[in-house]
Each structure stands twice: as C-alpha cells, then as structure tokens.
Amino acid sequence: MVEKKEIIKVGLIGYGYVGKTFHAPFIDAVEGLELSAIVSSHPETVREDWPDMAVYPDIDIMLSNSNVDLVVIATPNDTHKPLAERALLAGRHVVVDKPFTLTTEDARYLAALAEKEKKLLSVFQNRRWDSDFLGVKQAIEKDLLGDIAQFESHLDRFRPVVRQRWREEAVAGGGLWYDLAPHMVDQALDIFGLPDNVQASFAAQRSGAKTTDWVHVILSYGEKRVILQGSMLVAGGTARFTLHGEKGSLIKRYPDPQEAQLRSGMKPLDKDWGKDADPILFWDADGKSSSYPTPSGDQTQYYREIYEALTGSASNPVTPIQAIAVMAVIEAAILSNQSGERIAPDLTNAEKQAFEKK
C-alpha cells in the first residue's frame, strides 16, 4: 500500500509570465503540493487556467482568508522583500523568485527573520536543474577538462525592440543584470564557490533602452576566470557554455529546452519533458573531438525538494546563505561597473564559512 502524502497548500503571489509559466505548472506537478490560492489583479486571467482557484486581490487578504502553508512570490523584483516579510511574519514558509532581494542588506534581513520565525525561506533557482548546466557540471565532476582556466556562461536573447514592461524600465530591480544575473551567478557559485573579486561592464545598447540590456562580468578565482555574458541583441551564433581547461575544451551550444516547452504548452510530467538532443562537445589535447549526451533537465525538482524540506525528509535546496552570496556578487558587479575597479563581494567571514558549508 502506498502511503498518502502530507498535503502542503501553496499560495502563489503574482500571475504574470513567471508565475503562470513556471511556478504554477511546477507546483501542480509535484505530488504533495496543492496550489490552492493565487493573488492577482487579473482574476479573469487566472480562472482561464484555473477555473476553481481561490483568487485574492492582495497578499494580506489571502493570508487572512486562506490556510496556505507556503507562499510563493513571483512579483516585480522591488516587491520581493516586503512581500516575503509579510508572509514570514504571518507564519508561512516562503519561496521567492530570483532575485532574492535588491540588496545584500535586505537578503540578510529576510534570512534573519526566517530563522527567528522558524520558517523555511528559499529562492527559486530553477536553472540548477537545466539540462545544459547539468551536462557541464557532470563533465567537470568527471574531470573531463582537468583544471579549468576559463568558464563562459551566456544567457542571450534577441529582442531588438524595447518592450513596455517593468523589467525594461529604469526602476529598482529592472534591467538585464537583475533579470538573468541571479541564474548565472548562482550556477557559477554552485560549481566554483565564492570568487575573489568581480569586474563588470554594463551598457544600454538598444535604441530607446531605458536600462541595462548588455552585461559582461568576470569572476576571478586566482588565475581562473568565470565570464558571465548577457545581451538582448544576440540572434544566434554563441554557445550557452564554453569551457577551457588543461585537458581540453568543451562547448554546450544550445540552451535547456524547458522554458520553450512550457511556452508551447507542454507540462512537466509529459513525455519528453526536459529532453535535450543537443550534445556536449569536447576537444582533447590533440584536437580530437567527441560528443556526450546531455542529461535531461527537470526544473520541477526544485519544488520536489521544497516539499521534502517542508516534510522533514531533505534540506532546503536553495538556502538563505546561498541567496545572500548571490546578492553580494550582484552588488559587487554593480559597484564595479560604476567604479571601473574590481570589487570583492561584501560578505562577512561567518557568511563565507556558512556558504562553503552549504
């Protein structure tokens, strides 16, 4: 007999692109999680997808009128801290979409509050479960490249026309660095740990651009360089990952397919979910090339691990200290772009030690 799973009721705050495309389908796909309430200013949009869903106009009304255990925040970046604070003070566990907050100081505050309230606090770093990243990480763990000298991560788009949306406005938390950086930084820290320093250059390259739409950031680890690159004017021709090491070079050309699958209407439990036909390409010291299959991605795993953490069978998949470290690197890059200097992430010795222990 299969034991019935404990049900964790989830309230989703925000039903824009991220809430609708990522969070709702992933939550719905995990046994034991029940999406039971959504906060949105457009209830008609929610009910097109979820006809029987309880929809509330704001978080306070939802917290007062529902029995959700976990609050998921998928709203504009500058609202993450106040909404997470309200949910934690109301005795709920919290998942925050990236970026965690706008500053390292705010990240520290929320981490301390969650600890005080004895509630789980996590950040939605779903791209740890991307096929491309899993393939590259697997190659590193197998020592395919030996000591790595250069690691390049590209998250590029081709959107030459500036859109009328908050992400592309000159607002707190807007711009490409706050949009794509949390993924790239988190992946880099997951593999290499904390960098010695950060060097960054930002630009607004498109006609009519109001905020950053091009970023080039270098994380230094001794003589090793980790390069994070993002642009809104790349139609093609760049690889998702490029690595060079003492034993050879590696390229992963195309990105993980899950976002495209979700946009096409595929569900996380459907056949072929996360399958990636684009192989890992490797060149050895003699220039001989070979290819390796890329493992399937499954971003749903984040919410499976959240469920396990809440029911006591696993640990938090993305901890507050990891999120604080990401914010410290993000802020260091902003300061570097402003000053033209290399900037060390502003973390205390205790935070560095806690991060390394993970």
Predicted confidence at residue 214, as pLDDT, reads 97
pLDDT digits (tens, 9 = 90+) for 82-126: 999 999 999 999 999 999 999 999 999 999 999 999 999 999 999
pLDDT digits (tens, 9 = 90+) for 258-273: 999 999 999 999 999 9
**Sign of the dihedral defined by the CA atoms of residues 321, 327, 328, 329, in that order:** positive
Range of lowest pLDDT (72-76, 114-118, 172-176, 222-226): 172-176
Predicted confidence at residue 5, as pLDDT, reads 82
Phi, psi of 48 (to 5 degrees): -65, -35
Mean pLDDT confidence for 225-246: 97
Predicted confidence at residue 89, as pLDDT, reads 98
Domains of the chain, earliest start first: 8-124 (3.40.50.720), 130-297+329-350 (3.30.360.10)
Q: Beta strand pairing status for 70-73 and 8-13?
A: parallel
Mean pLDDT confidence for 45-68: 97
Predicted confidence at residue 291, as pLDDT, reads 98
- Whether the Cβ atoms of residue 252 and residue 276 lie closer than 8 Å to each other: no
* Of residues 269, 261, 195, 255, the one with CA closest to residue 225: 195
* Of residues 104, 77, 80, the one with CA closest to residue 335: 104
Helix axes 104-117, 320-339, angle to 10 degrees: 170
Residue 1 has pLDDT above 70, yes or no: no
Both structure tokens of 2: 């299969």
Mean pLDDT for all residues in the chain: 96
Confidence of residue 170 (pLDDT cuts 50, 70, 90): confident
What is this structure's pTM?
A: 0.95
Predicted confidence at residue 2, as pLDDT, reads 45
Residue 163 has pLDDT above 70, yes or no: yes
Q: Residue 44 class from Cβ within 10 Å (0-12 exposed, 13-18 middle, 19+ buried)?
A: exposed
Partners of 247 in beta bridges: none
Predicted confidence at residue 4, as pLDDT, reads 65
